[in-house]
A and B are shown apart, each in its own frame.
Chain A
């Protein structure tokens, strides 16, 4: 079992490969090149969002407002596309990141600055962001025909058979990996999540990192908001509704510990891919899409149980002496 914990990503990758093979045996159309690339394309937004959520969970937080932030930013950018001049795609991207970042900062300041628990703040902003879409948009939806040409064209541009959404997600993943493993701040995120008290003695202030991680999550949610709206060609109040829990599920399946300080970029990406494969495979296998939720629920529980089995053993012993003795006996 400890091998499982040490090689979590490998195990998860194997499980996904087995799953794809099994689905392919049943429905050969699923494993054709274009179809598999389609899965990557379709999961690209979840890749990015799960990475944003991971950074938050690393600091022992949670961001329930990501999907609402995505929807609100998407609506705002769509309104700019509708009423403003035809801007280049890059302008929309930067605008979306900045708007999302602003909403994320709002979360971060309430959490880091005022010390309100993350679940309370993001539960509140979840309602606020969702509602603001209706307040700002007047309850109307913005359709593809109204958004402007460059606004919509960009996410569909393809390179090597994959849309630009996937390449952006890949860039985000690489940047995130470099940030978390190669920079002082990135290592600090793991430190404050792993042990806030010890980190404080090293001069790392949890509250500052909280402002940072919610801003990162917000920026990613904003970017995804533009890409989502442009890809699916519609902005309204209910887009990505309930998606916040899919994002968290990706992290949990990918081995990110809700207790903070544990989680990797590859693991999270695989967790998201796992859900992406299920979502895309069910229609090709002609299974009712209603199964998707039940399967991802079972997958979350399985992942949690495997992780817990591998990790929880020492914690079962309450007395520190007994724990030391057990560690001594094992070592």
Chain B
């Protein structure tokens, strides 16, 4: 057949530069560059390697939780109890410290409590088929409440020096790198690999896009949900250990309000709250944008609560702008 029409069945859409540039991650890269440029211009202390290293202390713990939260939100779930798990894990670490336990026991206690809380969330969410936002508001009050009841207005401050050294000295001396930041980057690679390069990752996208269709395609939706909540608890436990080691004191209001900071990181990272869209590189970039923007504003003596106003505007603006631009483009095309 000489002149038979030849169909091209492309495996993926053709590469277009515009698509790459309009990707959410590209916008975040520009935003990050902007944050660095503006801050470097505004204050001479921003581009100091030790300052930058210390800045990562302030967001790495939240960022570790954000990685797990990204997977949850990607699959249409949410875990609002993470900050309460941090508090409960920190409480366990503090109690073990008060008993004079060595560092490995302290770390394992924190991780174990996080894991248990996550398991509990997972069971409740999968067993009762209620949206996780309700379940985790409940467990948030419960976990935080347990921490408040057991600690009251006391504080736990007895920790072995090697434990405090985990976060109060640099993990790497040159370039100065805190342990929490190293863990965050390593975990980001792990989460990114699982999400973007494995079949399990594709399953997460499938669940997020359509849980019912995913179930009909043979994906064990509930088992994966259960695992994700467990992982989220474990990451919160890890964050609790790191936070305790950093500040060296446990009070029941530790990490109060972190859940909303973590959700902000994930949403700014381009993960759709309606599920099925998102990437780990996006979340990592959003973490860096938020972290260094906050740090820069702090250097400029902007009060923390005013920074919150700006971050709130950034969150809404970054979601609203693309919608407005898309609408404007559509209107121009139709006329």
Contact = CB atoms under 8 A, between A and B. Distances in A.
A238 to B, nearest CB: 9
B303 interface: yes
A84 interface: no
Interface string A286-314: 00101111111110110011011100100
* B129, B134, B216, B256: residue with the most chain A Cβ atoms closer than 10 Å: B134
Interface in B114-143: 124, 128-131, 133-135, 137-143
* A110, A258, A312: residue with the most chain B Cβ atoms closer than 10 Å: A258
A120 B319 contact: yes
A127 B308 contact: yes
A297 B320 contact: no
A141 to B, nearest CB: 13
Given A304-B130, A318-B212, A132 B138 contact: no
Contacts of A308: 128-130
Given A116-B323, A123-B315, A304 B128 contact: yes
Interface stretch (B30-38, B146-154, B188-196): B146-154
A252 B260 contact: no
Interface residues of B, number: 50
Interface string B280-315: 000000000000000000000001011111111101
Contacts of B215: 318
A307 B324 CA distance: 40
B148 A290 contact: yes
Task: Summarize B's interface: helix, strand, loop or mixed.
Answer: helix
B192 to A, nearest CB: 23
A114 interface: yes
Nearest to B144: A293
A114 B149 contact: no
B201 interface: no
Contact of A301 (B135, B152, B311): B135
A110 B212 contact: no
Contacts of A126: 260, 312
* B138, B264, B315: residue with the most chain A Cβ atoms closer than 10 Å: B138
B303 A296 contact: no
A131 B310 CA distance: 9
A297 B143 contact: yes
A50 to B, nearest CB: 14
B128 A252 contact: no
B326 to A, nearest CB: 11
Interface string B255-275: 011001001100100000110
* B78, B212, B273: residue with the most chain A Cβ atoms closer than 10 Å: B273
A62 B306 contact: no
A73 interface: no
Given A290-B148, A297-B140, A258 B131 contact: yes
B316 interface: yes
Contacts of A123: 260, 263-264, 267, 312, 315
Nearest to A132: B309
Nearest to B312: A127
Q: Which 8 A-B pairs have the closest CB atoms?
A: A294-B145, A297-B141, A297-B142, A131-B309, A127-B312, A293-B145, A300-B138, A124-B316
Interface of B: 78, 124, 128-131, 133-135, 137-146, 148-149, 152, 212, 215-216, 252, 256-257, 260, 263-264, 267, 273-274, 303, 305-313, 315-316, 319-320, 323-324
Interface of A: 62, 64, 110, 114-117, 119-121, 123-128, 130-135, 139, 237, 242, 245, 248-249, 252, 258-259, 288, 290-298, 300-301, 304-305, 307-309, 312, 315-316, 318
